Amino acid sequence: MRGQKGIEIREAHFPERAPIDAYGNGGFRFAGMSHKGSLLCLPSGIYGWDVATPDDLTVDNFSNLFSEADEIEILLVGSGIDLLPIKSDLRSKLRKAQISADPMATGAAVRTYNVLVAEGRAVAAAFLAV
Question: According to the model, what pLDDT value does residue 9 have?
Answer: 43
Kindly list the domain boundaries of the chain, sorted by start residue: 13-127
Phi, psi values for residue 78, rounded to 5°: -85, 105
- The angle formed by the CA atoms of residues 48, 50 and 56, to the nearest 5 degrees, is 135
- Residue 88 and residue 81: Cα distance in Å, rounded? 21
User: Which overall architecture, per CATH, does domain 13-127 show?
Assistant: 3-Layer(aba) Sandwich (3.40)
Strand, helix or coil at 58? coil
pLDDT tens column, 47-98: 999 999 999 999 999 999 999 999 999 999 999 998 899 999 999 999 999 9
Q: What percent of the chain has pLDDT over 90?
A: 85
Kindly state the DSSP code that residue 56 receives in the 8-state scheme. Answer: G
Question: According to the model, what pLDDT value does residue 5 have?
Answer: 63
Question: According to the model, what pLDDT value does residue 15 have?
Answer: 77
